[in-house]
Amino acid sequence: MLVLALDTSTPQVSAGVVQLRRPHELIAALQADPTGPVRPAQVLAQRAVTDGLGHAERLMPLVADALAQAGRTLRELDAVVVGIGPGPFTGLRVGMVTAASLGDALNRPVHGVPSHDGLARSLSPLSGDLLVVTDARRREVYVSGYRADGRRVLGPLVAAPAAVPDLLAEHDLRPIHVAGAGAELLELPGTEQLAERLTVPADAPVLGLVECAATGLLTDVVPGPLVPLYLRRPDATVPGARKSVLGR
C-alpha cells in the first residue's frame, strides 16, 4: 500500500512516500529475518525543510520532490495521512487542507493522526516512558506523555515549561526519554533521569504517522473528518461589531 504522509505541525514541513506492508508481506518479512526488527512501514522517499512562515509555499514542492525521488506519481497513491497537531493554526491548516484536497482530487481516503503520536510511534520500542515536546510559542510548549508500550497517558496539551514537572507527577510519568522540537525549552529540576534527548531521524514524522494509521488503512476503514488539535484560539480573530461612542 502506497501512502503519502504530510506533517506541518511544527516549523519543519515534511512530506514522505511510505510503503505500508500488508499482513502477508509483514509475515514474509518476519520469516525472512526473524532476529531483526521489522517495521510495518518503509519510507521510500522523504523531503523536509524548516520554514516556520512558508508552509503554504513549501509543502506541494516537497510532495512533488518526494514522489519523484520514489519514482511514483500521485495517481499511484492508495491513501493520504496527515498530522493534525498540536500546532499553530496556520501551519496545521495548510497541511490538512492540502491533504483533504489531494484526497478529494484523487478519490483516496485521508487519515488524520496526532503528530505527537506519530513521533512517539516512530521511536518505538523504547526502554521507558517518553515525553514528546514541541514549541507552542508564547513561552509555552505542547506536551504528550507515553508509556514504554506506546500508550499515551498525558496530553496533548499546552502548558508553561515550569508546569511540566507537576503534570508528570500527576500522571505518574517518569520519562527517561524526551523528543521533539521543543525539548530544549523544558526546565525540569530534580528530574536528572530525563537526560536522554533522543535524536529524531529525518523520516520519523512521516513513518510514525503511517504506522499509527496502519490498522485503518489496511482494513479500509472510512476515516472521519479531519479535526485539528489547535488547543487554543488563533492569534488572528474576526473583529466584532464596533461600539458606538454615544452608547447607542
CATH code where residue 145 lies: 3.30.420.200
CA triplet 144, 150, 198: central angle to 5 degrees? 65
Same domain, 18 and 129: no
The pLDDT, as a whole number, for residue 106 is: 98
Does position 235 have pLDDT exceeding 60, yes or no? no
Does position 187 have pLDDT exceeding 70, yes or no? no
In a domain, residue 69? The reply is yes
Number of neighbouring beta carbons within 10 Å of residue 68 = 13
Q: Within 13 Å and on the Cβ side, how many CA atoms surround 85?
A: 23
* Domain boundaries, position 166: 117-197
The pLDDT, as a whole number, for residue 239 is: 59
In a domain, residue 40? The reply is yes
Residue 58: which of 67, 48, 68, 66 has the closest Cα?
A: 48
89 Ramachandran zone, left/alpha/beta (phi>0; psi -120 to 50): alpha
In whole angstroms, what separates CA 54 from the centre of its chain? 18
Q: Which helix (H) or strand (E) holds 212?
A: helix 204-212
Task: Give the domain CATH number at 209.
Answer: 3.30.420.40
In a domain, residue 223? The reply is no
What is the pTM (predicted TM-score) of this model? Answer: 0.89
pLDDT in tens, 60-74: 999 999 999 999 999
Q: What is the domain count for the chain?
A: 2
Contacts of residue 226, defined as CB under 8 A and 6 or more positions apart, other chains included, come to 82, 84, 96, 99, 100, 110, 112
The pLDDT, as a whole number, for residue 191 is: 47
Same domain, 72 and 152: no
The pLDDT, as a whole number, for residue 98 is: 98
Does position 237 have pLDDT exceeding 90, yes or no? no
The pLDDT, as a whole number, for residue 193 is: 46
In a domain, residue 229? The reply is no
**Percent of the chain whose predicted confidence (pLDDT) is above 90:** 69
C-alpha–C-alpha distance, residues 163 and 189, integer Å: 11
